[in-house]
């Protein structure tokens, strides 16, 4: 497909966004078609960067210098493979990374991987950021590639992103492996896909909620898919850690799909109590013998379709796992 086929609509949209939300920056592969197109379209060379971190740092530098046009700046990522030789730290505020690719659920062409061992691929510590239309590929043949994404900043949004990992079985054998770690305030994942259904997963967790007692994670997952190919029964889709603060995770129309060995529990409920998990009726787990240990069922609540016990029928009260 020639890039010219989308230039008019894309450029019109970009410039409209500029008028509302500030300046745009670009990350495009050296020698790639997108870079040539952007240059031909008159985008200043100073706005076209070789790497994601350089583009981020340019925006953040402008913001700290008081350049108001950098607030709500957008960084557009070309539909290429962007391989990282160092960990990414997104510490800017109100700075958005958007893949130049149609909204999709898996394996988008604006891809972020890595060529060296990284204990964490991406840390989002700033607030009010949007990351959209991106595919993250994480995991080499190394036991220390343990975390694709950590979110410690508040009020961030991830939309139509695929967090692909583990992409190698070696880190998937480690008990310290957590695909996603959330130690933040408010965060939204909308139409995102987590994991892969190809690599065998032996230990660790997909989502880890953690933090001190005075830290309240409030996470919303809307229309998300969680993929796993477990090769033991000890893995969990969700881990909660003892002593974490009051907060919640809400799953709206989400599917947890394990195509491998059936898990003992979909949720490790060690930290449930102050922290609770809510789900609506269209959220479900597949490939699990049970959702959570019986002692923690009171802290997992979900909607029902009228099949609960007589005292709960049609009264709109949420029920707990295994309540018939």
Residues 250-264 have pLDDT tens digits of 999 999 999 999 999
114-161: pLDDT as tens digits: 999 999 999 999 999 999 999 999 999 999 999 999 999 999 999 999
Nearest-CA neighbor of 268 among 243, 301, 234? 234
Average pLDDT score over the chain = 87
What does the block give as tokens for 153? 């900043």
Tokens of 1: 């497909």
**Which pLDDT belongs to residue 324?**
43
Q: What is the CATH number of domain 80-312?
A: 2.160.20.10
The tokens of 271 are what? 């930290």
CA-wise closest residue to 321 among 306, 299, 305: 299
Average pLDDT over residues 6-26: 55
Phi and psi based region of residue 122 (left: phi greater than 0; alpha: psi -120 to 50; beta: remaining): beta
Query: Are 291 and 266 contacting, i.e. CB atoms less than 8 angstroms apart?
Result: yes
**Helix (H) or strand (E) run with residue 309 in it:** none
pLDDT digits (tens, 9 = 90+) for 86-114: 999 999 999 999 999 888 889 999 999 99
Backbone angles phi, psi at 149, to 5 degrees: -135, 130
Query: Is there a contact between 177 and 148 (Cβ–Cβ < 8 Å)?
Result: no
Instruction: Say which residue the tokens 């009228």 belong to.
Output: 306
Q: Are the beta carbons of 75 and 95 closer than 8 angstroms?
A: yes
What whole-number distance in Å separates Cα of residue 116 and Cα of residue 86? 7
pLDDT value of position 155: 96
- What are the structural domain ranges in the chain? 80-312
Note the pLDDT tens digit of each residue in 183-234.
999 999 999 999 999 999 999 999 999 877 677 899 999 999 999 999 999 8
What confidence category does residue 84 fall into, taking pLDDT thresholds of 50, 70 and 90?
Answer: very high
CA distance 67 to 73: 11
Confidence of residue 306 (pLDDT cuts 50, 70, 90): low
Residue bearing tokens 């700033």? 126
* 276 beta partners: 248
């Amino acid at each position: 497909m020639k890039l010219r086929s989308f230039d008019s609509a894309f450029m019109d949209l970009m410039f409209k966004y500029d008028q509302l939300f500030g300046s745009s920056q670009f990350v495009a592969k050296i020698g790639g078609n997108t870079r040539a197109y952007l240059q031909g379209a008159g985008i200043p060379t100073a706005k076209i960067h070789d790497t994601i971190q350089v583009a981020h740092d340019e925006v953040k530098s402008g913001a700290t210098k008081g350049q108001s046009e950098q607030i709500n700046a957008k960084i557009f990522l070309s539909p290429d493979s962007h391989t990282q030789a160092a960990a990414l730290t997104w510490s800017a505020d109100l700075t958005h990374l958007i893949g130049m690719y149609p909204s999709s659920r898996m394996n988008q062409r604006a891809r972020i991987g890595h060529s060296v061992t990284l204990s964490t691929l991406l840390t989002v510590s700033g607030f009010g950021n949007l990351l959209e239309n991106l595919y993250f590929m994480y995991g080499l043949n190394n036991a220390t590639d343990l975390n694709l994404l950590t979110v410690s900043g508040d009020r961030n949004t991830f939309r139509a992103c695929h967090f692909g990992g583990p992409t190698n079985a070696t880190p998937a054998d480690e008990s310290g492996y957590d695909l996603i770690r959330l130690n933040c305030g408010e965060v939204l994942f909308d139409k995102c896909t987590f994991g892969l259904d190809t690599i065998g997963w032996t230990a660790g967790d997909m989502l880890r909620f953690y933090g001190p007692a005075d830290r309240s994670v409030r996470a919303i997952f809307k229309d998300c898919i969680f993929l796993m190919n477990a090769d033991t029964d000890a893995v969990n889709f969700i881990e909660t850690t003892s002593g974490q603060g009051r907060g919640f995770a809400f799953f709206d129309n989400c599917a947890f799909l394990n195509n491998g060995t059936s898990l003992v529990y979909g949720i490790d409920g060690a930290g449930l109590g102050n922290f609770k998990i809510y789900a609506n009726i269209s959220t479900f787990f597949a490939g699990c013998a049970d959702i959570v240990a019986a002692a923690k069922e009171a802290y997992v609540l979900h909607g029902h379709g009228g099949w609960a016990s007589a005292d709960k029928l049609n009264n709109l009260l949420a029920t707990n796992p295994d309540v018939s």
